[in-house]
Amino acid sequence: MKITFLGAAGVVTGSSYLLEAGGLRMLVDCGLFQGDKDLTRKNYEEFPFDARKIDLLLLTHAHIDHCGLLPKLAAKGFKGRVYTTSATIDLAMAILEDSANIQEQDTKKENERRMRIGLEPRSPLYTKDDVKTLKPLFSSVEWNTELKISKSVKARFRRAGHILGASSIEVFADGKKIVFSGDLGQFGAPIIKDPEIIDDADYVLIESTYGNMLHEKADREEILLKHILETYEKGGKLMIPCFAIERTQEILYTMSNLIKAKKCPKQPVFLDSPLAIKATGVFKKHKECYNEKAMKVADIFNFSQLKPTQDVKESMKINSYDDPCIIMAGDGMCTGGRIRHHFKHGIWNKKNTVLFVGYQAEGTLGRHILEGENPIRMMGMEFVVKADIRKITSFSAHADSEGLMRWARSFPKKAKFFIIHGENDSQAALKANLEKEGYSCKIPMIGDSVTL
Ligand SMILES: [Zn+2]
């Protein structure tokens, strides 16, 4: 058995691992690199393997940094099955269709610029047609059910509690068991079931996004309400950069609870993201992922103040809305999407608040704002930041350092850990915590291969 770390090793994004075992070449995830130019350039490089010679792919979940290069893989000749849960297939298709659209539009703009300065045009990373080529390759799997890949290779998907459909994956081959944590969620998340505890492995790849941090323990509803009320009293807009999947639905569910309890002032809540609107539809379809509490609520995302804005004209109308309101728009790290337009119209206004509800990767606009950069540069212009900048960490879809250890310590001491999917400090902190409890750990870098 041999593993090669192709992404999310030493960095957070671009999750992808090549596992060679039982005579098969398997990929686990095929994600997009996000963040600064050095990283995003990798998306355009050739794969370090022949896509036609990959037998199958196991997909942990639908986040773009885990599935975002699947259409490129299909375009390069991959013809194997992509095994994942049914909810992940629906979310991945929604997100990849959206991503292909963005790729095509961005490339058109970029090529106009390149032509002006005499450079050759370049092709989009992938197109909507590549996403169509990928679609029939998906095969759905059930959680906790053995997936027979070949005579000697089996896999089993377990709930990771991270986003709808997300899984950790156990692979059994060559007399060994290797576990891919995928992204691990928090215990007690609002909508979906908790991460499952797995009690045996020879090798574990564990994510470390928040390996050095504890989420605030305060009640999610109360903190969100505090920011809603404070901005309302200033007469401003509460702008929430939202990840279209999970975070949006968790915030909607929490707002719906606050409104039903009559704690929220009457003001419109604009859901200004076609992808988030689509993803909310996928959430409604996949109730098998809900926890007991969410299961009991009839329509968890519906309340009268909610205004989904599908088309651009409706979105632009929000700019001229002068009364207090809440705007949820993508993307979550402000690297693109409609949130930038709302910033353009309001980040310079001290009446407004920007509320971050999720992880901001290094190099992203969201991270710059959160770290106090002022003025900021976006859309080729400079903007002074006068809006209040706030963050809530308790909505995170990722386990914190305590949650990671709770999941990790169920493995026997013989298990060898590879710490992935984290920035340097968080990887080092998780390594120290695991070693304190007697586990052996390695922090691999991109391109490393290890024979197991
Ligand atoms: Zn994720």
Query: What pLDDT, in 10s, does the model give residues 43-96?
Result: 999 999 999 999 999 999 999 999 999 999 999 999 999 999 999 999 999 999
Distance 421 CA to ligand 1 centre (A): 10
pLDDT at 297 over 90: no
Residue 21 β-bridge partners: 24
The 10s digit of each residue's pLDDT in 143-197 is 999 999 999 999 999 999 999 999 999 999 999 999 999 999 999 988 999 999 9
What was the pLDDT predicted at 421? 93
- How far is it, in rounded angstroms, from Cα 32 to Cα 13? 7
What was the pLDDT predicted at 367? 95
What confidence category does residue 299 fall into, taking pLDDT thresholds of 50, 70 and 90?
confident
Q: Model pTM?
A: 0.90
Residue 2 β-bridge partners: 20, 451
Q: What burial class does residue 303 get, using C-beta atoms within 10 Å of its C-beta: 0-12 exposed, 13-18 middle, 19+ buried?
A: middle
Distance 61 CA to ligand 1 centre (A): 7
Distance 200 CA to ligand 1 centre (A): 23
Distance 285 CA to ligand 1 centre (A): 20
Share of the chain above pLDDT 90, in %: 85
What confidence category does residue 36 fall into, taking pLDDT thresholds of 50, 70 and 90?
confident
The 10s digit of each residue's pLDDT in 134-143 is 999 999 999 9
Distance 127 CA to ligand 1 centre (A): 23
* Sheet arrangement for strand 176-180: 146-148, 154-159, 167-173, 176-180, 203-207, 416-420, 440-442
Q: Report all structural domains of the chain as residue ranges with CATH numbers, in order of start.
A: 2-213+397-451 (3.60.15.10), 220-391 (3.40.50.10890)
- How far is it, in rounded angstroms, from Cα 201 to Cα 411? 7
What was the pLDDT predicted at 194? 96
pLDDT at 11 over 90: no
Distance 310 CA to ligand 1 centre (A): 25
Distance 261 CA to ligand 1 centre (A): 31
Summarize the confidence of residues 384-407 as an average pLDDT. Answer: 93
Share of the chain above pLDDT 70, in %: 100
Distance 55 CA to ligand 1 centre (A): 24
Measuring CA to CA, which residue among 147, 196, 155, 189 is closest to residue 173? 155
What confidence category does residue 34 fall into, taking pLDDT thresholds of 50, 70 and 90?
confident
What was the pLDDT predicted at 167? 98
Distance 344 CA to ligand 1 centre (A): 28
Distance 138 CA to ligand 1 centre (A): 19
Distance 264 CA to ligand 1 centre (A): 30
Distance 184 CA to ligand 1 centre (A): 8
Distance 291 CA to ligand 1 centre (A): 19
- How far is it, in rounded angstroms, from Cα 447 to Cα 353? 42
Distance 228 CA to ligand 1 centre (A): 27
Distance 129 CA to ligand 1 centre (A): 25
Select the more confidently predicted residue: 102 or 96: 96
Distance 183 CA to ligand 1 centre (A): 5
Distance 312 CA to ligand 1 centre (A): 28
Distance 225 CA to ligand 1 centre (A): 26
Distance 250 CA to ligand 1 centre (A): 15
pLDDT at 383 over 90: yes
Distance 150 CA to ligand 1 centre (A): 28
What was the pLDDT predicted at 283? 95
Distance 167 CA to ligand 1 centre (A): 10
Measuring CA to CA, which residue among 58, 16, 51, 30 is closest to residue 173? 58
Distance 252 CA to ligand 1 centre (A): 19
Distance 63 CA to ligand 1 centre (A): 5
pLDDT at 217 over 80: no
Summarize the confidence of residues 117-142 as an average pLDDT. Answer: 95
What was the pLDDT predicted at 144? 97
Summarize the confidence of residues 388-393 as an average pLDDT. Answer: 93
Beta strands in 52-188 (DSSP E): 56-58, 81-85, 138-141, 146-148, 154-159, 167-173, 176-180
What was the pLDDT predicted at 39? 86
Residue 203 β-bridge partners: 178, 416
Averaged confidence pLDDT in the chain = 94
Distance 64 CA to ligand 1 centre (A): 8
Distance 66 CA to ligand 1 centre (A): 7
Distance 12 CA to ligand 1 centre (A): 10
Contact yes or no for 157/139 (Cβ under 8 A): no
pLDDT at 337 over 90: no
- How far is it, in rounded angstroms, from Cα 235 to Cα 83? 49
- How far is it, in rounded angstroms, from Cα 84 to Cα 369? 35
Based on C-alpha coordinates, what's the Rg of the chain? 22
- How far is it, in rounded angstroms, from Cα 38 to Cα 53? 28
List, as ranges, residues with CB under 5 A of the ion ligand 1.
63, 183
What was the pLDDT predicted at 440? 97
Distance 258 CA to ligand 1 centre (A): 27
User: Considering only 51-55, 57-61, 309-313, 392-396, which range has the smallest mean pLDDT?
Assistant: 392-396
- How far is it, in rounded angstroms, from Cα 173 to Cα 326? 50
What was the pLDDT predicted at 177? 98
Contact yes or no for 148/94 (Cβ under 8 A): no
Select the more confidently predicted residue: 424 or 359: 424
Measuring CA to CA, which residue among 244, 197, 285 is closest to residue 62? 244
